[in-house]
Amino acid sequence: MFGTSRFIRGALTAVDKAARGTSEKETLQPKAEFEALQSLLTDLKTSTESLQQQRIVEALQVYLHQQSRDASSAIFHRIVEVLTNEIFELTISPEKQCKIAGVKALECLIDLDFEESTAAKITKLSNYIQAVLDSDTDLTVLCAAARALGRIVRIEGTVTAEIVDADMKKALNWCGQAEKRLAAALILKELALNAPPLFYVQIASFFGSIWDALTDQRTDARFASAEALSVALQLTESRKSRQRGQLYDQLWQRSLVAIKAGTAESVHGGLLVIGELIVNARDFMQPRYKDITETVLRLKDFNKAEKERGLVKRTVISLIPRLATFSPQNFVRFYFKSSMEHMMERFTHNDEKEKAAVFDSTGGLISLCKGFRSQIMPFIPRIMEHVKIALSTFRNNHPESLAAVVCISKMGAVAGPEIEEQASDLLPLLFNVGLNETLTKSLKELSLNIPSLDGYIQAGILTLNETLTKSLKELSLNIPSLDGYIQAGILTLLSLTITKKPFPLKQTNSSIEYNIFRAVSAKLTQNLSNLIVSEETIVFALKTLGSFGFEKETVLDFVRDNIVSFLDDSSNIIRKEAAKTCAMIARPVEKRLSTQTIDTISEIIEKLLLVGIADTDPSIRHAVLSSLDEQFDGFLAEPENLRSLFIALNDEVFEIRTIAIKMIGRLTLRNPAFVMPSMRKTLVQLLTELEFSGDSRNKEESAALLGHLINSSKQLTQPYVQAILDALLPKLNDENPRVASSILQTLGELARVAGEEIDPYLLQLLPIILDSLQDQSSLNKRYVALKVLGQLVESTGKAVDPYMQYPKLMDVLLNMLKVERVSHIRKELLRVLGFLGALDPYKFKINQDELKADGKLFDADENSSDYSVLNTIPATSIEYYPTAATIALMRILNDASLSVHHNVVIKTILSILEQLSQSQIRPLVRFILPPFLARIRSSDPSVRETLLQQLGELISIMGHLVQDYLSQIFDIVRDYWNTFLLSIISIIETISNVVTEGFKVYLPS
């Protein structure tokens, strides 16, 4: 298993050594946690089905999230280290399944918050993904790795930009290497999707390089390249740049050249490009519509040798609906009849893939041209004949059969009443197979368009697969007369799948005609007597029952009598889906309900709440409570249900406690007599834990729960504002940043309740918010600070005042507006700027001068005056760019949150200085040496020696220009003489060589 046991044993040994002196319970606990991790990793590597693998990945995510909260920082760090090492072993494994498992496990770490800088984390994870992309050629592995890379580059930051730039250049280079083109196309697609601003910088190079991949020998490489091209074209079209017309023309001309080349690969690649241009460059292609259409249709009988038989013909058929979408009127006038005749002729061939493509295109073409019924109707009987042939030999999940079901649902939207008789004859063929989404959707459309068939359809839908279920739904919608038949069929199939018995329809509580239902049910029950049901089929049946749209009166009793029992099933997946279905059906959306319905819903909710507090699987408890939204409040406010919710407040999982406190908070007004006393106890308990708990995790969770309580139950917290403030304010400077951030967020919620009561504390809160807004190491911290600032200003009405008290605030917010790329932060930033309002620039300047004169200017930004130096240097001067670059680099060095970049910054500064003369260096010394010397003192001891060595290099380059700073340098020499002797002696030697006279003054000391 590629080192799992070795890594786990090593981890356990390290933990045992670290835990010496602790109790036996504390020593054994880490071992159990590592065994859980080992079990998940083993399951992940041995799983062969994608669905099973996805469930294991979800379990691994839950496990890591829980450990991040519950385990000590040392143990959690070790868990992440063990997992990271295991991921490395998996990604270099020669086995395909292990590589996929490694990539999926790696994705669990991308969004995980652990004690490592974001830049270092994404660099490490990116390197692991690069190893997979560099070494593998399998499509499944490459797709998984490319998707993971896409998730990594979504993270904002300088390192991300470097990763995108490097991967972009590598992928464009790979387009010229036959064995690497598939990987290149997948990488380029993910970069375009997840980092569009960075991708667009090299868009011209992309369009120039992608052609080799579009005409590659491998079919999957061509399709992957077309997908990448599609995303790039969408990006280009959205930017409205001047060069897009030129880029489109190059693609169009090269596609014509590729088609003229005549090989199957080049023709297929050219058609793929034309298809993407039609969709994404409509304005450019409009004048060329005739040429495009005739070029494509001319290839409908392409018969040259192909690796994949009939691929070009299928591509032409699939492009026909796109051509019709482009200009429906012109297409119907000049090309519709010939295109339909061509597709009717292709139905007679034995190529199953081609028949599926013909059904897809026929349905799409009819749907697009539905305004031209006179041209469509002559072809309907012939299409129905081919649909009947395809369904008579129906095989579940077979492309041709599923495409035929979708085709008939599309025809229902155009010719509903005209095909009612033929559609009703086809329904038994549909219901004699298993349940699927396509059938459900198609029958739903058919039912709406042919109402007379609705009862038949609803009686039989439930043992079909996903694609068929979707088509049944569309069929019911498009042909309302079929709706009764469709619902009858669906319900019978659902019941046979779930209970192995026919659906017990009652004559008095359903709109489905009873006689129709009995006939359909009896026939389907006979035909499906030997129905084989799997766990996946039951899950899909439950999902369909909840989402198909049956009337509550029809299925509510069935849910109570049959589905509720699945809440005790041994399968976690079935229990979870059953809970969702019960909540969906029981949701009281109607304003008036009968007494019987109310009693039934109450019974179902009571059982759901029991599962929500007692089920052993946290994800099921979470799903149950999440599904009970505001529409259930009238039932949840009953005392017995409230008791269950108060029990959920003590759940071991924080997210479940969060949902419970939100639910109880919104029920305060529904049943205040019962809720208020218990909520007061909860409030006191949270304040006590926040004030006296020694555990950081408990304080963080208590603060978060308190915030949710305040937000959902404002009337309860109003009398306790001062007590809450007294508990929160001392913890604002907690040494744990997550606790401080959580408390700040809670204060924001409290501000909305407290209003002007929080005014006296603004002077204490605003400096903390300002510091958090400038913390580049934490995206969440910046967002929380921004949101709280908006809440404070909105609640207190103190517009403009924060600008006057803290002049730096405006610069901070405007700078964020320039550089912040995360959409939700930008939206919140604009809201905050709106709350703060506009101020008089003259008054602002006067206020700033007065504060400086009094020495009260809060944390004046020295670098702002540094930038003002640039205003005195002409932009054409040779000194301008070195000065601007140096000032920008030193701002990074001054920011402790960007410490991961400090080494690169110093090397860059040294490189710049080496290229300049002494006269050019002179004005830069004052920007470099003071902050550099300050960084030496404030840095971690582990990096201080490196900084001292780099100080020696700086002195060597600057020479006698350092003379004005010798006293500060020798202060550092004295302070670190005993700890970094070799580096200090090297600095002294350098100074003695470059500042001979000035050095003598310090020689005696």
What would the mean pLDDT of 389-405 be, rounded to a whole number?
71
Whole-number Å distance between alpha carbons of 599 and 579:
18
pLDDT of residue 220: 92
> How large is the angle between the packed helices 139-153 and 181-194, nearest 10 degrees?
30
Q: What's the pLDDT at 729?
A: 85
Report pLDDT for 370: 74
In angstroms, the CA 820 to CA 831 distance is: 14
**Vertex 51, ends 50 and 54: CA angle to 5°?**
85
Q: What's the rounded Cα separation, in Å, for the pair 538 and 546?
A: 13
What integer is the mean pLDDT of 707-712? 90
Q: Output the six-digit token pair for 782.
A: 């910046």
Closest CA relative to residue 427, chosen from 472, 481, 494: 472
d(CA 857, CA 355): 76
Region 651-675: mean pLDDT is 91
SS3 assignment, position 727? helix
Residue 966 CB burial class (10 angstroms; 0-12, 13-18, ≥19): middle
Q: What stretch of H or E contains 9?
A: helix 4-18
Tell me which of 134-148, 731-745, 948-962 is least confident: 731-745
- The pLDDT of residue 191 is 94
To the question of pTM greater than 0.85 for the whole model, the response is: no
- 160-164, 772-776, 827-831, 948-952: segment of lowest average pLDDT: 772-776
Confidence of residue 173 (pLDDT cuts 50, 70, 90): very high
How many residues appear in the chain? 1005
Which two three-digit tokens encode residue 212? 């080799």
User: Under 8 Å CB-to-CB from 982, ≥6 apart: which residues?
Assistant: none
Q: What is the pLDDT of residue 762?
A: 84
**Among candidate residues 578, 647, 572, 575, the one with its CA nearest the CA of residue 609:** 647
Q: Output the pLDDT for position 988.
A: 86
pLDDT tops 80 at residue 473: no
- What is the residue type of 83? L
Confidence of residue 854 (pLDDT cuts 50, 70, 90): low
What pLDDT does 660 receive?
94
Give kind and range of the element (H or E) at residue 435: strand 435-436
Q: Which helix (H) or strand (E) holds 766?
A: helix 762-773
How large a percentage of the chain has pLDDT more than 90?
Answer: 21
> Has residue 66 got a pLDDT over 90?
no
3-state secondary structure of 459: strand
pLDDT at residue number 796? 84
Residue type (1 letter), 682: T
User: What DSSP designation does 463 have?
Assistant: T
CA distance 651 to 661: 11
Rounded to the nearest integer, the mean pLDDT of the chain is 80
**Is 435 within 8 Å of 497 (Cβ atoms)?**
yes
CA distance 201 to 204: 8
Tens digit of each residue's pLDDT (9 = 90 or more) over 673-687: 999 999 889 999 998
Give the pLDDT mean for 550-567.
Answer: 87
How many angstroms separate the CA atoms of 266 and 301, rounded? 16
The Cα 461–Cα 503 span in angstroms is 11
- Interatomic CA distance for residues 179 and 928, integer angstroms: 49
Name the region of 310 (left: φ>0; alpha: ψ -120 to 50; beta: rest).
left
Q: What is the pLDDT of residues 315-349, one digit of tens each?
A: 999 999 989 888 888 888 899 899 999 989 888 88
> Is 360 within 8 Å of 406 (Cβ atoms)?
yes
Mean pLDDT over 957-966 rounds to 86
Cα 41 to Cα 60, 73, 105, 293, distances in angstroms: 8, 22, 8, 53
Tell me what pLDDT residue 463 has: 35
How many CB atoms sit inside 10 A of residue 592's CB? 6
pLDDT reported for residue 821: 67
Average confidence (pLDDT) over 843-866: 58
pLDDT in tens, 890-914: 888 877 666 667 888 888 988 898 8
Give dist(CA 635, CA 784) in Å, integer: 35
Instruction: Give the per-residue pLDDT at 1.
Output: 36
Which of 316-325, 503-512, 644-653 shows the lowest per-residue confidence on average (mean pLDDT)? 503-512
Convert the pLDDT of each residue in 783-810 to its tens digit: 888 999 988 888 888 888 887 777 778 8
> What is the pLDDT, as a whole number, of residue 465?
45
Least confident piece of the model among 550-564, 767-781, 968-982: 767-781
Exposed e or buried b per residue across 558-571, where buried means at least 16 C-beta atoms within 10 angstroms of its C-beta: bbbebbbebbeeee
pLDDT score, position 11: 36
- The band of 576, judged by pLDDT with boundaries at 50, 70 and 90, is very high
Residue 877 has pLDDT above 80, yes or no: no
Torsion, Cα of 758, 762, 766, 767 (10° steps): -130
Choose among 362, 357, 360: nearest CA to 339.
362
Instruction: Report H helices in 369-503.
Output: 373-376, 380-392, 399-415, 420-431, 437-449, 454-458, 466-478, 483-499
pLDDT at 28 over 50: no
Would you say 727 and 687 are in contact if contact means Cβ atoms under 8 Å apart? yes
Measured distance between the N- and C-terminal CA atoms of the chain, rounded to whole angstroms: 63
pLDDT > 90? residue 479: no
Taking residues 932-960, report their average pLDDT.
84
Banded pLDDT at 19 (limits 50, 70, 90): very low
The pLDDT-based confidence of 18 (bands split at 50, 70, 90) is very low
| Alpha carbon separation from 806 to 148, 523, 767, 850 (Å, rounded) | 43, 79, 8, 12
3-class DSSP assignment, residue 241: coil
Could you tell me the two tokens for 838? 């506009």
Residue 395 is predicted with a pLDDT of 55
Model confidence band, residue 862 (pLDDT cutoffs 50, 70, 90): very low
How far apart (Å, rounded) are the C-alpha atoms in residues 194 and 190?
A: 6
Collect all residues with Cβ–Cβ distance below 8 Å to 179 and sequence separation of at least 6: 137
For every residue of 315-343, which 3-state class applies, written as one string?
Answer: HHHHHHHHHHHHCHHHHHHHCHHHHHHHH
Residue 466 in this model has a pLDDT that exceeds 70: no
pLDDT digits (tens, 9 = 90+) for 225-277: 999 999 999 999 888 777 888 889 999 999 999 999 989 999 999 999 999 99
Q: Count helices and strands (H / E) in the chain.
A: 57, 2
pLDDT, residue 245, reads 87
